[in-house]
């Protein structure tokens, strides 16, 4: 029987680094450390349903431990897994207004990690898939403690980005600029194994993903685009299907694998929408483009937006190249 190559996340990164002459091995160490944090988060998320038995959030569980909100726990786990490694000069978390300094007693490195520890965690009580999202940048400042300037770089400066979707199986999807690769966690050995090499998003899909409850506040271009998707006259000769999970990583992951478009537009109440540029827009945009898709904020590439604030929001239109291009035309016509 032909044995499939068993490619762990670590092996894939190291083999990838060999094709990057300048690679210094730091990146494989960073992803290894991050994947440990992710496995700890996976363990907590997978027993979340048992919290009531083990103790509801904010109370003590049967072991007498304080049960933390899962997003607070995930945030803490990532920070503590990364703060001492000597690879990072600063971090930024979607859960914290300010940048997160590296403790003074630890060495500072040349990278910056931005992360959303548990996106969509409001859905966890309904057992809906949620996700962890991360972005890696090279520092701008020469040395010492990283600064806000190191954290608010445009998305095209990312050297790596990825997400984890904690669902029926737990998958880690990442890019370092050489395509997008998916790994599935084998819980029996606690390893992420390569399961989706070089993911390419279909050039056009048949699914659109948006919260239609915001319809009345959308710009006319968005309204006309969604109405267009619901008409017959397309190559598929049938309307698109609507699929909205309301957990961005789950909606983005389905869009990446099946094609179509995920959109969170700005509207008359929130011109920049709800999703955050640094923590959601940029990492997802990098992955979508690396998979042959597109990612715009309505008028330009998300990766070209020059950030002004760490938590600024951005409209998001991401997915199959042809779908985003058609959407862009409707947005431009208004
Ligand atoms: P709405 C989850 O709370 C989240 O941040 C994303 O994961 C998700 O895409 C979005 O908000 C859903 O927002 O307004 O449609 O409920």
| Chosen domain end from 196, 220, 252 | 196
pLDDT tens for 43-98 read 988 886 665 544 456 666 555 666 668 889 999 999 999 999 999 999 999 999 99
Cα(19) to ligand 1 centroid in Å equals 38
Whether residues 177 and 304 share a domain: the answer is: no
Please indicate whether residue 280 is annotated as part of the active site.
Answer: yes
CA-to-CA dists, residue 268 to 248, 313, 324, angstroms: 21, 14, 22
Q: Which residues line ligand 1 (CB under 6 A)?
A: 119-120, 122, 211, 246-248, 274
What does the pLDDT average to over 159-185? 95
Q: Is residue 4 part of a domain?
A: no
Cα(251) to ligand 1 centroid in Å equals 10
Whether residues 86 and 133 share a domain: the answer is: yes
Please indicate whether residue 76 is annotated as part of the active site.
Answer: no
Percent of the chain with pLDDT over 70: 90
Count: domains in the chain: 2
Whether residues 231 and 177 share a domain: the answer is: no
The pLDDT value recorded for residue 51 is: 58
pTM: predicted TM-score of the whole model, two decimal places: 0.94
Whether residues 157 and 290 share a domain: the answer is: no
Whether residues 175 and 267 share a domain: the answer is: no
Please indicate whether residue 303 is annotated as part of the active site.
Answer: no
Whether residues 121 and 74 share a domain: the answer is: yes
Read off the pLDDT band of 285 (50, 70, 90): very high
Total residue length of the chain: 334
Q: How many CB atoms lie within 10 A of CB 198?
A: 12
Whether residues 261 and 192 share a domain: the answer is: no
Please indicate whether residue 116 is annotated as part of the active site.
Answer: yes
Cα(314) to ligand 1 centroid in Å equals 13
User: Would you call 319 exposed, middle or buried from its count of C-beta atoms within 10 A (0-12, 13-18, 19+)?
Assistant: buried
What does the pLDDT average to over 21-27? 69
82/31 Cα distance (integer angstroms): 10
Mean pLDDT is lowest, of 121-135, 143-157, 216-230, for 121-135
68/227 Cα distance (integer angstroms): 43
Cα(107) to ligand 1 centroid in Å equals 37
Query: Mutation test of ligand 1: which of 209, 253, 274 has the most ligand atoms closer than 8 Å to its C-beta?
Result: 274
Mean pLDDT is lowest, of 48-57, 237-246, 248-257, 323-332, for 48-57
Whether residues 79 and 220 share a domain: the answer is: no
The pLDDT value recorded for residue 273 is: 97
Please indicate whether residue 98 is annotated as part of the active site.
Answer: no
Which of 31, 34, 75, 95 is labelled catalytic?
A: 95
The pLDDT value recorded for residue 55 is: 46
Whether residues 44 and 92 share a domain: the answer is: yes
Mean pLDDT is lowest, of 43-52, 80-89, 119-128, 141-150, for 43-52
The pLDDT value recorded for residue 284 is: 98
Whether residues 216 and 175 share a domain: the answer is: no
247 CA closest ligand 1 atom index = 7
275 CA closest ligand 1 atom index = 5
Above 50 in pLDDT, residue 201?
Answer: yes
Above 70 in pLDDT, residue 161?
Answer: yes
What does the pLDDT average to over 237-258? 95
Please indicate whether residue 251 is annotated as part of the active site.
Answer: no
The pLDDT value recorded for residue 300 is: 98
Domain residues for 214?
207-333
Q: Which residues contact 314 (CB under 8 A, 6 or more apart)?
A: 272, 273, 275, 276, 277, 281, 297, 302, 305
Residue 192, strand partner residues: 185
Please indicate whether residue 289 is annotated as part of the active site.
Answer: no
The pLDDT value recorded for residue 210 is: 98
pLDDT tens for 174-185 read 999 999 999 999
Q: Is residue 230 part of a domain?
A: yes
- Ligand 1 atom 1, closest CA: 246
Whether residues 302 and 181 share a domain: the answer is: no
Residue 173, strand partner residues: 163, 182
Percent of the chain with pLDDT over 90: 78
Whether residues 173 and 239 share a domain: the answer is: no
């Amino acid at each position: 029987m032909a044995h499939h190559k068993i490619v762990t996340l670590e092996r894939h990164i190291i083999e990838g680094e060999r094709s990057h002459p300048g690679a210094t091995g730091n990146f494989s160490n960073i992803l290894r450390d991050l994947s440990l944090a992710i496995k700890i988060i996976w363990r907590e998320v997978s027993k979340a349903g048992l919290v009531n038995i083990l103790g509801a959030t904010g109370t003590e569980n049967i072991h007498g431990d304080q049960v933390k909100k899962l997003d607070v726990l995930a945030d803490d786990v990532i920070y503590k897994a990364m703060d001492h490694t000597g690879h990072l000069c600063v971090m930024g978390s979607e859960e914290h207004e300010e940048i997160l300094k590296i403790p003074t007693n630890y060495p500072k490195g040349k990278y910056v990690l931005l992360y959303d520890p548990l996106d969509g965690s409001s859905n966890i009580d309904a057992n809906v898939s949620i996700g962890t999202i991360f972005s890696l940048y090279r520092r701008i400042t020469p040395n010492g403690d990283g600064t806000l300037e190191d954290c608010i770089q445009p998305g095209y400066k990312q050297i790596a980005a990825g997400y984890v979707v904690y669902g029926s199986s737990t998958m880690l999807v990442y890019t370092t600029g050489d395509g997008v690769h998916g790994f599935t966690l084998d819980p029996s050995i606690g390893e992420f194994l390569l399961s989706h090499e070089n993911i390419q998003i279909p050039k056009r899909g048949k699914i659109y993903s948006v919260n239609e409850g915001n319809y009345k506040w959308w710009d006319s271009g968005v309204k006309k685009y969604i109405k267009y998707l619901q008409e017959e006259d397309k190559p598929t000769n049938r309307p698109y299907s609507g699929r909205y999970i309301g957990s961005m990583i789950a909606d983005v992951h389905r869009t990446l694998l099946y094609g179509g478009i995920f959109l969170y537009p700005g509207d008359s109440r929130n011109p920049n929408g709800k999703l955050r540029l640094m923590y959601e827009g940029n990492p997802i945009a990098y992955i979508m483009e690396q998979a042959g898709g597109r990612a715009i904020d309505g008028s330009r590439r998300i990766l070209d937006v020059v950030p002004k604030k760490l938590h600024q929001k951005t409209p998001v239109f991401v997915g199959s190249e042809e779908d985003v291009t058609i959407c862009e035309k409707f947005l431009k016509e208004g």
